[in-house]
Amino acid sequence: MPAGHLLSVLIFFPALGALALLILRGDDHVWIRRVALAVSLVEFALSLLLVPAVPVGSSAYHLEELRAWIASPPIHYHLGVDGISLFLVILTTFLTPISILASWKSIQHRVKEFFFMLLLLEVGVVGVFLSLDLFLFFLFWEVMLLPMYFLIGIWGHERRIYAAVKFVLYTMAGSILMLVAIVWLYTITGTFDLPTIQTMLQAGYVSLSPRAELLLFSAFFLAFAIKVPLFPLHTWLPDAHVEAPTAGSVILAGVLLKMGTYGMLRFCLPLFPAASRRAAPLVATLAIIGIIYGALVALVQPNLKKLVAYSSVSHLGFVVLGIFAFNNISLQGAVYQMLNHGISTGALFLLVGMLYDRRHTFEISDFGGLSTPMPRLAAFFLFVALSSLGLPMLNGFVGEYLILLGTSQASVKWAAWAALGVILSAGYLLWSYQRVFYGPVTHAKNKELPDLSAREQWILVTMAFVVLWMGIGSLDFTSRFAASCQNVLTQMERPQAQEAAAPKPAATVVDAVPAAASSTAPAAVVAPAIYHDTVIPGGVPANSAGTKSRNLSSAPTSSPARRNTPASPATPTSSERLGNR
């Protein structure tokens, strides 16, 4: 497939849509909503074109676009998509129309501005996931901040200004550090291009002192940890979630938090592996504290939306733990859990929003017995809650299980502590569900609440479908990012002897590589038969340096060819026991 400009289109199409909204009359709410929805749906359809472009078993970047943007310093407009970013982009483009539909009735003032901001937000988020140039990444990272600030600050609830400012200041504090780190990295390597830096570090053309690596790692990590949010940097999240309008919460929980974990996967681990390993015990401890602490605090929340918000702290703890367990299984689990959390928690926020639309409160004590007037909403709520607490055959289980299984291969102790979260999640979800939906109706206001409207029902049916699909057909997803996860681990390998690469002049490489990177993009497609191949996009013969050793698990059992093969014997040892005789 020729490279084309699909990625650029994906980033800027919502911006065009946002501009189109400005043409419309401000009080023409119907058409504003329709245009916004249409734009987001087209965007979603476009994003699906990414799927065939990222073949199963390939870990390379695809659909790369590389243009010189600023000559000095050499900043490039460099985009690319791999298995990890693929589904995060689709998650974004999927949740945006859902959010627009969810805001159909509940947003009644400054409608045009609202949808404008929502589409602008999509630009920033998609841009973050697709950027392969550090400066460009940082730019989109900041672009995303602005519309979110307004979404919370203008259309939020009572304490919206406080929450919006807190959100922005927290994130800015992290991103300043990241900016410093990016510039420092530039002074060392002479480029902002991520694949180039990766290649230089990995091949040993440039080496960082342990102290420098740790500082760089810390700066990046802090920025991402705030975004995730990792305990104890999480206190912006409950406020932002509770005050944001439903659409804001959905996007915030669904995709914005993932930018943090995505950053860890994309930058912290591959660029600074030694520092990552040094930090892993601390990070894992914080992640586990987050899992348990988030769940316990969620348990006692009197406010339903805050409960969901704290459950995010717990769930994202799982993702961070999976990333810092450094093995193929847990990494895939972490990526899967990012997607799951986007769907499940997104759906929970939608449901909480629907309750708010009816009762204008989030207090659990104001509800009670709601399954009598609203059996359908209650059924969907239970379904989503079950997916969130990790019931097998629904999406949450796959991610949690892979994370815990992978982590247990690294440390049984970590897995055991983290698994406590599995008990607690059942506790807070079922307890709150009981108080909201079971029992007799205790408030007169709740007696006559209308059940789901057709629009709400379709939103939830869509979400429920994805929940089921991801719970049963997990291979449709994991097969496309398995190689990229393995690639992260491969990128963490460093040659034993730094001197081995030293004879080559570093200065020339710096200039040569960006050009090479673009030319190899289509060629980097790996034969699908080789499941865990590791090709480093960048064209430098770096994988000669003994990189294919640890964690390389190319066992036949995980080959995608194993799907749907009831007739073929599986493994030589057990084939005689199979039923096909």
Partner 1 sequence: MLILNHLWIIPLLPLLGAAINGLSGLFGAKWPNKAVTAVAIGSTGLSFLAALECVREFLNLPAAQQALPWVKQYFTWIAAGTFRAGFDLQIDHLTIVMLLVVTGVGWLIHIYATGYMSHEGGYYRFFSYLNLFMFFMLILVMAANYVLLFVGWEGVGLASYLLIGFYFLKKSASDAGKKAFIVNRIGDFGFMLGMFLLFRTFGSLDFVTVFDKTRELPADALGQFGILTISCLLLFMGATGKSAQLPLYVWLPDAMEGPTPVSALIHAATMVTAGVYVVARSHILFTHAPTAMLVVASVGAATAFFAATIGLVQTDIKKILAYSTVSQLGYMFLACGVGAFSAGIFHLMTHAFFKALLFLAAGSVIHAMGGEQEVTRMGGLSGKIRWTYFTMLMGTLAIAGAPGFAGFFSKDAILFSAFQHAPGGRILYAVGLASALMTAFYMFRLIFLTFHGKPRFDEHHVHVHESPKSMLGPLVVLALLSIIGGWMAAPSFWGGTDHFTAFLAPVFGAEAAPEAATAAVSEAAEHSLELTLAGVAVATAFLGFFLAFWLYLRRPGVADQIAKSAKGAYTTLLNKYYVDELYAAVIIRPLVWISDNVLWRAVDASGIDGAVNGAAAGTTALGDRLRRAHSGNTRSYAVWVVIGALLILAVIFWPMLKPAAGMVP
By CB under 8 A, the residues from 269 to 298 that bind partner 1 are 293, 296-297
Number of residues interacting with partner 1: please give it, by CB under 8 A: 79
Is the CB of residue 132 less than 8 Å from the CB of residue 103? no
Q: Which of residues 523-552 bind partner 1 (CB under 8 A)?
A: 551
The residue among 224 and 293 lying less far from partner 1, judged by its C-beta, is 293
- 539, 540, 546, 549 alpha-carbon torsion, rounded to 10°: -30
CA angle, residues 142, 521, 63, in degrees to nearest 5: 55
CA dist list (Å): 26 to 18, 32, 35 = 13, 8, 13
- 180, 183, 184, 188 alpha-carbon torsion, rounded to 10°: 170
CA distance 69 to 71: 6
The residue among 16 and 423 lying less far from partner 1, judged by its C-beta, is 423
CB of 574 to partner 1, least distance (A): 5
User: What number of other Cβ atoms are within 10 A of residue 406's Cβ?
Assistant: 22
The residue among 271 and 452 lying less far from partner 1, judged by its C-beta, is 452
Q: Which of residues 22-81 bind partner 1 (CB under 8 A)?
A: none
- Is residue 426 at the binding interface for partner 1, with CB under 8 A as the rule? yes
Q: Per this entry, what is the length of the chain?
A: 581
- Is residue 413 at the binding interface for partner 1, with CB under 8 A as the rule? no
Binding-site member from 328, 388, 484, 490 for partner 1 (CB under 8 A) = 328
CB of 336 to partner 1, least distance (A): 9
CB of 208 to partner 1, least distance (A): 29
- Is residue 431 at the binding interface for partner 1, with CB under 8 A as the rule? yes
Residue 126 burial (10 A CB sphere; 0-12, 13-18, 19+): buried
- Is residue 219 at the binding interface for partner 1, with CB under 8 A as the rule? no
Question: What are the beta bridge partners of residue 66?
Answer: 78
Q: Kindly indicate which of the ranges 34-42, 271-279, 353-361, 435-443 contains the residues binding partner 1, using the contact rule CB under 8 A.
A: 435-443
CB of 325 to partner 1, least distance (A): 12
CB of 327 to partner 1, least distance (A): 7
- Is residue 210 at the binding interface for partner 1, with CB under 8 A as the rule? no
- Is residue 467 at the binding interface for partner 1, with CB under 8 A as the rule? no
CB of 306 to partner 1, least distance (A): 10
The residue among 217 and 531 lying less far from partner 1, judged by its C-beta, is 531
CA distance 461 to 101: 13
The residue among 199 and 432 lying less far from partner 1, judged by its C-beta, is 432
- Is residue 468 at the binding interface for partner 1, with CB under 8 A as the rule? no
CA dist list (Å): 299 to 296, 306, 378, 420 = 5, 10, 20, 14
Q: Is the peptide bond before 450 cis (omega within 30 degrees of 0)?
A: no
CB of 161 to partner 1, least distance (A): 13
CA dist list (Å): 255 to 121, 122, 152, 344 = 11, 10, 16, 12
Q: Which of 115, 91, 37 shows the shortest CA–CA distance to 347?
A: 91
CA distance 41 to 581: 50
- Is residue 576 at the binding interface for partner 1, with CB under 8 A as the rule? yes
Fill in the amino acid letter for 148: M
Handedness of CA 105, 110, 111, 113 (dihedral sign): negative
- Is residue 439 at the binding interface for partner 1, with CB under 8 A as the rule? yes
CA dist list (Å): 526 to 56, 59, 529 = 9, 8, 8
CA distance 174 to 172: 5
Binding-site member from 405, 525, 530, 545 for partner 1 (CB under 8 A) = 405
Q: Which two tokens stand for residue 35?
A: 């245009």
- Is residue 158 at the binding interface for partner 1, with CB under 8 A as the rule? no
Angle at which helix 273-299 crosses helix 210-227, to 10 degrees, equals 30
CB of 486 to partner 1, least distance (A): 8
Q: Which of residues 165-194 bind partner 1 (CB under 8 A)?
A: 166, 169-170
CB of 45 to partner 1, least distance (A): 27
CB of 234 to partner 1, least distance (A): 8
Is the CB of residue 537 less than 8 Å from the CB of residue 524? yes
The residue among 52 and 572 lying less far from partner 1, judged by its C-beta, is 572
- Is residue 455 at the binding interface for partner 1, with CB under 8 A as the rule? no
CA distance 404 to 398: 10
CB of 468 to partner 1, least distance (A): 11
Q: Is the peptide bond before 232 cis (omega within 30 degrees of 0)?
A: yes
CB of 556 to partner 1, least distance (A): 10
CA distance 343 to 353: 15
The residue among 106 and 457 lying less far from partner 1, judged by its C-beta, is 457
- Is residue 337 at the binding interface for partner 1, with CB under 8 A as the rule? no
The residue among 137 and 414 lying less far from partner 1, judged by its C-beta, is 414
- Is residue 333 at the binding interface for partner 1, with CB under 8 A as the rule? yes
- Is residue 404 at the binding interface for partner 1, with CB under 8 A as the rule? yes
Is the CB of residue 202 less than 8 Å from the CB of residue 536? yes
Binding-site member from 39, 279, 415, 436 for partner 1 (CB under 8 A) = 415
Is the CB of residue 62 less than 8 Å from the CB of residue 104? no
Q: Which of residues 221-240 bind partner 1 (CB under 8 A)?
A: 232, 234-236
The residue among 106 and 409 lying less far from partner 1, judged by its C-beta, is 409
- Is residue 484 at the binding interface for partner 1, with CB under 8 A as the rule? no
> Under 8 Å CB-to-CB from 100, ≥6 apart: which residues?
33, 36, 37, 40, 115, 118, 247
Question: What are the beta bridge partners of residue 62?
Answer: 81
CA distance 106 to 242: 16
CB of 307 to partner 1, least distance (A): 11
Site string for partner 1, 363-402 (x = CB under 8 A): ------x-xx--xx--x------x----xxx---xx--xx
- Is residue 479 at the binding interface for partner 1, with CB under 8 A as the rule? yes
Q: Kindly indicate which of the ranges 271-279, 514-522, 534-542, 558-566 contains the residues binding partner 1, using the contact rule CB under 8 A.
A: 558-566
Q: Which of residues 82-121 bind partner 1 (CB under 8 A)?
A: none
CB of 501 to partner 1, least distance (A): 29
The residue among 114 and 397 lying less far from partner 1, judged by its C-beta, is 397
